[in-house]
Structure 1
Amino acid sequence: MKIAVYGQNFLEKNIPYLNQFIGYAYSNSIEIYIEKSFFDILSSFEEFKNLDFPIFSNYKELTKDFSLMFTFGGDGTILSAITLIRDSGIPIVGVNTGNLGFLATFNKDVFIQKIDQIFNKKFHLMPRSLLYLKTSITNINTNHNKFFNFALNEIVILRKETVSMITIDAYIDNEFLTSYWADGLIISTPTGSTGYSLSCGGPIISPDNHNFVITPISPHNLFSRPLIISDNQKIHLKIHSRVKYYSLSMDTRLTSLNKENELYIQKAPFYIYLLQEGKNTYYKTLREKLLWGIDQRN
């Protein structure tokens, strides 16, 4: 078996967990490939100075013969990891060493206890849909930064370098919907419905639904409310601003676009697969992370 390991940072208190993980892999003849930046972070610790693992540094090196990718961190780590996973179909095992963890559902203690079941894929594989973005003028995926134009959580349009609102004309399947006068607009997947969209009043949608959510950010019109649409529909956005540029965010990645650049958003042609303990653990995660049921009457 061949696996990939990824992280964005690492704390000394998590060394025992990683040591047990590496020991299990060694004893079971599992090949470990570590992402280069994470390898450099680990090498700064005395316990890992003599690490001798092959490394990978870009998505082209993650071939389909990898069985799993393990991410150590939180949800942000998984969002960053999908720029490496892309359409390879490699399942992600999110080990939560961070805080909230809607996506990274394996607590580090539980992860060690159930490591044998994980490697034998005894758990449920949950497909998660993504958003795909095209622009009318600039192809943001061909510049020198190779901006990854897919999003697992959300695409966000925000005003830039101005305190004034922007206006966003929205079309659904070429039919005019409305003009949002707001600080911005969030297009969210069910996965992202517990993120930025939720904090702006959007609904929570379980990940097995086939929907997108359109959520305005601080709208000036009191009748502007979040809208749920089918993920088979295509979204077209035109942005009007007093300044030349607006900000575009895709998960953890941020760039600026000229206001003449129109956006075309639709469902991506592939899924990201997350390994989780059971099919219905999403609702358990909601209860724990959002403190539902904390009222003593429950």
Structure 2
Amino acid sequence: MKIGIYGQFYHKNSETYIQLILDVLKNKKVTVFIEENFLDIINLNHEINRNFSNFETFTELDNSYDLFFSIGGDGTILKSVTFVKDLGIPIVGINTGRLGFLATIQKEEITESLARILNGNYMISERSLLTISTTPKNTEIKPKLNFALNEIAVNRKNTTSMIKVETDVNGHHLTSYWSDGLIVSTPTGSTGYSLSCGGPVIEPSAKNFIITPIAPHNLNARPLVLPDDSELTLKVSGREKSYLVSMDSRIATLENNTTIHIKKAPFTIKLVQLAEDSFIKTLRKKLLWGEDKRN
């Protein structure tokens, strides 16, 4: 079995859990490749008491990998997706911080959970993505990274003035949003930026997209759920000459009146899930549903 590992150290006591994960893998008959920069950080961290410099490193993946471990939180998974791309490698999200929607392997259960996963005792949750293109083409949007697992969003830049986002669906004009920006979200991203702007929560396997305006100035503008075979066209204008477009955590600057085309990506991301875990269970814990907080 060949496993790739990528992670970050931004959670408290991350080194303790990274040490545990690497120890577990070292005792198994698996081939481990650690992302080059992450291994450098590991070897510089004095809290990790074993040198793992004998592990191989990678800067890019290929389809020879059986699993990809993402150590951190949901943000780390979004970055992990940029390594996995369309290779179909299942991602194991190991959460070293608070409860996450994507990184569902909890730090308190690392040893047991990894043993089950390495024995093949897991399920796959397939997640749809969005892809973006522009007319004219923008050099900041790389062809190999023109996708997003959570959302693609347009935002105003260097101004307090609103922007106008003219929005078409399948060639038909929907409306012009006068707002701070606009979010186009997948079901996976429905619990992220979109939710914070009033968008609905959607179960990850649903075949939908969500359009959510950011602080709309036309008060009748509301989030809209569309079938995921819809193709969206956005054209942004405003007082500034440019604006921002984000693909999860990656940002590009576009000139006004650039036409943005958004549609479903031709591949999915596979997230490893243990049998007792589910989106509903995670949702209930994350949003504290059913808990009495009156005391």
After TM superposition, the score normalised by the length of structure 1 is: 0.93
Q: In the TM superposition, what is the alpha-carbon distance from 1:150 to its structure 2 partner?
A: 0.2
Secondary structure in 1 aligned to 2:233? strand
- Residue deviations 1:10-54, cap 9 Å, x none? 667344433333333233221110001111110112324453111
| Deviates further, 253-262 or 217-226 | 253-262
Secondary structure in 2 aligned to 1:114? helix
| Residue in 2 that maps onto 1:53 | 55
| Deviates further, 9-18 or 26-35 | 9-18
Asked if structure 1 preserves the Cα contact closer than 8 Å seen for 2:156 and 2:181, the reply is yes
| Residue in 2 that maps onto 1:209 | 206
Secondary structure in 1 aligned to 2:13? helix
Q: What amino acid is aligned across from residue 43 of structure 1 in structure 2?
A: N
**2-structure distance, mates of 1:114, 1:108:** 9
| Residue in 2 that maps onto 1:266 | 263
**2-structure distance, mates of 1:254, 1:165:** 19
**1-structure distance, mates of 2:259, 2:288:** 40
The share of aligned pairs that are identical, in percent, is 46
The answer as to 2:118 corresponding to 1:116 is no
**2-structure distance, mates of 1:63, 1:125:** 20
**2-structure distance, mates of 1:31, 1:12:** 28
Q: How does 1:153-168 map to 2 (within 5 A)?
A: 153-168=150-165
**2-structure distance, mates of 1:96, 1:80:** 14
| Residue in 2 that maps onto 1:185 | 182
Q: In the TM superposition, what is the alpha-carbon distance from 1:147 to its structure 2 partner?
A: 7.3
**1-structure distance, mates of 2:254, 2:9:** 30
5+ residue gaps, structure 2? none
- Residue deviations 1:72-94, cap 9 Å, x none? 10000000111100000000000
**2-structure distance, mates of 1:278, 1:100:** 17
Q: What amino acid is aligned across from residue 236 of structure 1 in structure 2?
A: T
5+ residue gaps, structure 1? none
**2-structure distance, mates of 1:157, 1:33:** 36
Asked if structure 2 preserves the Cα contact closer than 8 Å seen for 1:43 and 1:51, the reply is yes
- Residue deviations 1:82-107, cap 9 Å, x none? 11000000000000012241100010
**1-structure distance, mates of 2:189, 2:50:** 35
Asked if structure 2 preserves the Cα contact closer than 8 Å seen for 1:126 and 1:279, the reply is no
Asked if structure 2 preserves the Cα contact closer than 8 Å seen for 1:9 and 1:38, the reply is no
**1-structure distance, mates of 2:293, 2:244:** 44
Asked if structure 2 preserves the Cα contact closer than 8 Å seen for 1:17 and 1:112, the reply is no
Q: What amino acid is aligned across from residue 202 of structure 1 in structure 2?
A: G
The answer as to 2:148 corresponding to 1:151 is yes
| Residue in 1 that maps onto 2:29 | 29
- Residue deviations 1:137-194, cap 9 Å, x none? 1244666xx7721000001100111111100110000000000000000000000000
The answer as to 2:78 corresponding to 1:79 is yes
CA RMSD of aligned residues (A): 1.9
After TM superposition, the score normalised by the length of structure 2 is: 0.94
| Deviates further, 157-166 or 1-10 | 1-10
Asked if structure 2 preserves the Cα contact closer than 8 Å seen for 1:4 and 1:35, the reply is yes
Asked if structure 1 preserves the Cα contact closer than 8 Å seen for 2:140 and 2:253, the reply is no
The answer as to 2:104 corresponding to 1:102 is no
**1-structure distance, mates of 2:147, 2:12:** 33
| Residue in 1 that maps onto 2:136 | 137
- Residue deviations 1:218-272, cap 9 Å, x none? 1011110000000001000011111110011110111211113110000000000
**2-structure distance, mates of 1:12, 1:247:** 32
Asked if structure 1 preserves the Cα contact closer than 8 Å seen for 2:9 and 2:15, the reply is no
**1-structure distance, mates of 2:226, 2:86:** 24
The answer as to 2:295 corresponding to 1:293 is no
Task: Tell me: CA distance 1:112–1:10, structure 2 relative to 1, closer, same or farther (3 Å).
Answer: farther
How many pairs does the alignment contain? 292
Asked if structure 1 preserves the Cα contact closer than 8 Å seen for 2:129 and 2:149, the reply is yes
Secondary structure in 2 aligned to 1:171? strand
Task: Tell me: CA distance 1:142–1:286, structure 2 relative to 1, closer, same or farther (3 Å).
Answer: closer
Asked if structure 2 preserves the Cα contact closer than 8 Å seen for 1:141 and 1:149, the reply is no
Secondary structure in 2 aligned to 1:269? strand
Q: In the TM superposition, what is the alpha-carbon distance from 1:108 to its structure 2 partner?
A: 1.2
Secondary structure in 1 aligned to 2:78? helix
**1-structure distance, mates of 2:182, 2:11:** 35
Q: What amino acid is aligned across from residue 17 of structure 2 in structure 1?
A: Y
Q: In the TM superposition, what is the alpha-carbon distance from 1:112 to its structure 2 partner?
A: 1.6
